[in-house]
């Protein structure tokens, strides 16, 4: 897993009226992973793509709740990363459509050990296009340095060995097109070269990222009644975000409400499970790629939400915060996934009720949309959003999400203390 950090250069945020209060984190899922000298597709219909040179920190071992003073104990070393992206049209949208095309995340194969790099906060990182330096920055200018990033991320999310943090792309991204050769380099870290090719050339090259883990996508504001309840317009394009693998927990388990927060709420949701590799799927055939359905409770810690259109990982990707289950029901056993009642109970009291017919973007639309830029693989999942009705939950609450034909997903909220005593 690669975690990217956006807006992490001082010069980039100095002009913002509302600068981020915590690191702006995003995920690059497995379909984006590729290596040195590999092709990167320039998608059809897009004028250009933009490289994103970054130093990347490779984690040495399981890291949770790491204090910044000990952060480097958890660092195995450093490598290079190239956060390819479409040009961002908004700094508010979670960047899935822009950043998660197949092969949009070249990563160096050589990890320079922690002790071999004198000072990771004094490294100049450059991006060359066809040999010429086009973008450059120094890690001296990072807003959040490595110890703060490790502390911040592991305060809510467990990192495992070889997880990687791309610590920031300097301002001044440049446009590249098919035919260009892009190289990321940094003193002491070598170089990482990508060949930008047309989408057709990419497909014909047979290059394909190897899946390591499930990709779990989720939808924000996908029910008009829920959007209006928050006094928001329903979005015109799906508001997609990604959830880290460790955020999922099973039926009948517990989820942690952080101490001192004002609002943590449940979100009962229908989850679509992918059955076969899906790329550029058309609406008419979309349901052929579904193998089944299950239930998620996509809890959110509202206090950590700085912006509805840019839900930070801290809100939605916390360890164990997303109960999933109780089982996957086969597609053929669900007559119409767009006519299912969703009910959420807290301590047996009905608190949320909706119907999947009210989704803004239905399942075929979502599959066509997502697979237009990223390949989905068997067992990948899309959680389709929550209807109206949310309310605060506190330690001790028993929360059950029920969907017609899919069963009941139950979970208990615990305090931070109880959570820590349970998970060691």
Provide the binding-site residues for Ca ion, judged by CB under 5 A: 267, 298, 386
- Nearer to Ca ion by Cβ, of 298 and 402: the residue is 298
| Tally of CB atoms within 10 A around 179 | 12
Alpha carbons within 13 angstroms on the beta-carbon side of residue 195 total 10
- Nearer to Ca ion by Cβ, of 183 and 386: the residue is 386
| Residue 354 CB contacts under 8 Å (≥ 6 apart), including other chains | 223, 225, 226, 268, 341, 342, 386, 387, 388, 389
- Nearer to Ca ion by Cβ, of 136 and 306: the residue is 306
Q: Are residues 120 and 49 in contact, defined by beta-carbon separation less than 8 angstroms? A: no
- Nearer to Ca ion by Cβ, of 114 and 302: the residue is 302
* Helices marked H in 219-279: 224-229
Residues 327, 419: Cα–Cα separation, whole Å: 24
Residues 367, 274: Cα–Cα separation, whole Å: 9
Scored b (16 or more CB within 10 A) or e, 75-95 reads bbbbbbbbbbbbeeeebebbb
- Nearer to Ca ion by Cβ, of 52 and 387: the residue is 387
In whole angstroms, how close is the CB of 401 to Ca ion at the nearest point? 11
In whole angstroms, how close is the CB of 298 to Ca ion at the nearest point? 4
In whole angstroms, how close is the CB of 267 to Ca ion at the nearest point? 4
In whole angstroms, how close is the CB of 238 to Ca ion at the nearest point? 12
Residue whose CB is nearest to Ca ion in the complex, by number: 298
At 345, list the tokens. 């109970």
- Closest to 156 in 3D by CA, of 422, 421, 419: 419
- Nearer to Ca ion by Cβ, of 106 and 337: the residue is 337
* Helices marked H in 174-272: 199-205, 224-229
Residue count of the chain: 424
CA-to-CA separations, 285 to 50, 279, 328, 363, 364, in angstroms, rounded: 32, 12, 21, 11, 8
- Nearer to Ca ion by Cβ, of 386 and 410: the residue is 386
- Nearer to Ca ion by Cβ, of 112 and 221: the residue is 221
At 304, list the tokens. 């950590």
At 51, list the tokens. 């490289």
């Amino acid at each position: 897993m690669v975690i990217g950090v956006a807006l992490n250069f001082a010069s980039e945020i100095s002009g913002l009226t509302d600068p981020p209060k915590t690191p702006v984190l995003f995920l690059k899922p497995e379909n984006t992973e590729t290596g040195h000298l590999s092709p990167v597709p320039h998608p059809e219909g897009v004028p250009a793509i933009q490289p994103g040179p970054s130093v990347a920190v490779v984690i040495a071992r399981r890291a949770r709740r790491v204090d910044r003073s000990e952060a480097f104990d958890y660092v195995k070393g450093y490598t290079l990363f190239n956060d390819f992206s479409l040009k961002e049209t908004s700094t508010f949208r979670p960047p899935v459509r822009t950043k998660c095309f197949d092969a949009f995340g070249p990563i160096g194969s050589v990890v320079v050990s922690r002790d071999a790099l004198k000072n990771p906060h004094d490294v100049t990182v450059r991006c060359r296009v066809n040999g010429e330096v086009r973008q450059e920055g120094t890690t001296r200018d990072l807003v959040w340095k490595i110890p703060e990033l490790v502390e911040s991320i592991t305060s809510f999310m467990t990192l495992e060995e070889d997880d990687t943090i791309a610590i920031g792309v300097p301002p001044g991204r440049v446009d590249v097109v098919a035919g260009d050769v892009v190289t990321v380099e940094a003193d002491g870290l070598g170089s990482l070269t990508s060949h930008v090719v047309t989408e057709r050339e990419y497909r014909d090259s047979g290059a394909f990222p190897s899946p390591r883990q499930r990709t779990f996508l989720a939808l924000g504001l996908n029910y008009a009644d829920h959007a209006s309840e928050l006094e928001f317009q329903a979005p015109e394009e799906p508001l997609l975000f990604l959830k880290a693998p460790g955020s999922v927990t099973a039926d009948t388990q517990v989820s942690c409400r952080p101490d001192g927060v004002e609002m943590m709420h449940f979100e009962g949701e229908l989850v679509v499970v992918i059955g076969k590799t899906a790329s550029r799927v058309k609406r008419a055939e979309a349901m052929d790629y579904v193998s089944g359905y299950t239930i998620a409770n996509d809890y959110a810690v509202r206090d950590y939400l700085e912006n509805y259109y840019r839900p930070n990982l801290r809100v939605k990707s916390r360890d164990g915060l997303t109960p999933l289950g109780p089982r996957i029901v086969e597609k053929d056993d669900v007559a119409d996934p767009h006519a299912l009642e969703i009910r959420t109970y807290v301590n047996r009291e009905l608190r949320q009720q909706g119907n999947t017919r009210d989704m803004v973007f239905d399942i075929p639309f979502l599959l066509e949309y997502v697979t237009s830029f990223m390949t989905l693989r068997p067992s990948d999942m899309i959680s389709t959003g929550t209807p109206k009705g949310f309310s605060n939950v506190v330690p001790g609450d028993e929360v059950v999400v029920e969907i017609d034909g899919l069963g009941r997903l139950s979970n208990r909220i615990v305090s931070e203390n109880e959570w820590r005593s349970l998970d060691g």
